[in-house]
Amino acid sequence: MVGAGSSRFVGYPSWDELVSKLNELAPGLRRSPNTDRAAFVEDIKQQLRRERRLDDYYNLLERTFSPRDSAPTHAPLHCALVQLGFAGIVTTNYDPVLEWAIGEAFSRDVHHVCRPIDLCQKRCYRVFDFLRSLSRGSRHDFVLHLHGWHENPTNIILTRDDYQIRYGERRPATSSEPVPRILDTIHRKVIWSLMAMHSVVFVGFSMDDDFFMDMVDIVQQDFRLGSDPVHFAIIGYTTDEEKGKMAHHLRRRGIAPVFYQMLDLADDGPSSRHRLFEDLILNLARSLDVTVPLGGLDAATRKMLER
């Protein structure tokens, strides 16, 4: 389960950076400290709707997450990640980074094309193909995009209303029980199936998506799992206090954390704070004898390094 943090290694924005870009479309709006990102983006979208400027919103999303001619499509990190033997690759991202990485990683002998599957499309037939493919080994033909795909920006899940349409109402904060009819949308059904039938490894995932974490809780409660470790999260921390709080938050949901320390470096590149995460994935790949292609480099640089 790959989140936005991994795509920052090739320059795609984090969620907070995306919210800032969208806010430029409605500069008169200010986010209050108590307003979460999804609710604030809903405010932006509603204002643009009133001004009949929704095309600006959708155009920005499509333009932001499309392949860029002037930037790498993926990094060696992504090529290593997709070769670690996972049954399938699922993401909440809208960009094509993982498809490009899979195409390069598995195309040494035969040209390999990996196709995106958009769970937000009305016709979900190919999602069934993806679920069936999980039993056929780790040569990935698909990446399942849970929250949409950049070529279909009108269906992307980003605002509070988008989440409620796709996931339904959240469980009340004061209740320890899930809301009735928990599997009443295709998103709930697919995520429940993935988390019930597979151990999920969260990579570049902030673990603060309330709707998604509700689904973790629902599966945990349905099977009376308690705090048994079922899933894993590779997650960064800055202080020991923060690390302790995150460990408690995750372990009580049956998620075993694998921590790396986020660095405070002079380098202000998008991946500088997460260099130890990159090292972790690359070292794991090497320990499994995974060959990591020099992804994301132009032909001249690639040829020079290979020599």
Domain that holds residue 207: 4-299
Whole-number pLDDT of residue 133: 92
Residue 304 lies in a domain: no
C-beta neighbour count of 301 within 10 angstroms: 11
Residue 120 lies in a domain: yes
d(CA 71, CA 54): 27
pLDDT digits (tens, 9 = 90+) for 184-195: 899 999 999 999
Residue 218 lies in a domain: yes
The C-alpha angle with vertex 297 and arms to 296 and 298, in degrees rounded to 5, equals 125
Per-residue pLDDT of the chain (307 residues; tens, 9 = 90+): 999 999 999 999 999 999 999 999 999 999 998 899 999 999 999 999 999 999 999 999 999 999 988 788 999 999 999 999 999 999 999 999 999 999 999 887 677 889 999 999 989 899 999 999 998 877 799 999 999 999 999 999 999 999 999 998 776 655 555 555 567 899 999 999 999 999 999 999 989 888 889 899 999 989 999 999 999 999 999 999 999 999 999 999 999 999 999 987 655 565 678 889 999 999 999 999 998 865 444 443 343 334 3
Domain count, the chain: 1
Residue 91 lies in a domain: yes
Residue 292 lies in a domain: yes
| Total-model pTM | 0.90
Whole-number pLDDT of residue 178: 52
d(CA 20, CA 13): 10
Whole-number pLDDT of residue 305: 33
Q: What is the mean pLDDT of the chain?
A: 88
Residue 40 lies in a domain: yes
d(CA 187, CA 81): 25
Q: Which residue has 């195409």 as its token pair?
A: 103
C-beta neighbour count of 258 within 10 angstroms: 14
pLDDT digits (tens, 9 = 90+) for 131-142: 999 988 777 999
What letter does residue 216 receive in the DSSP assignment? H
Residue 170 lies in a domain: yes
Residue 105 lies in a domain: yes
**Phi/psi of residue 130, nearest 5 degrees:** -60, -50
Tokens of 126: 């190919």
Q: Find the DSSP H helices in 82-159.
A: 97-105, 125-133
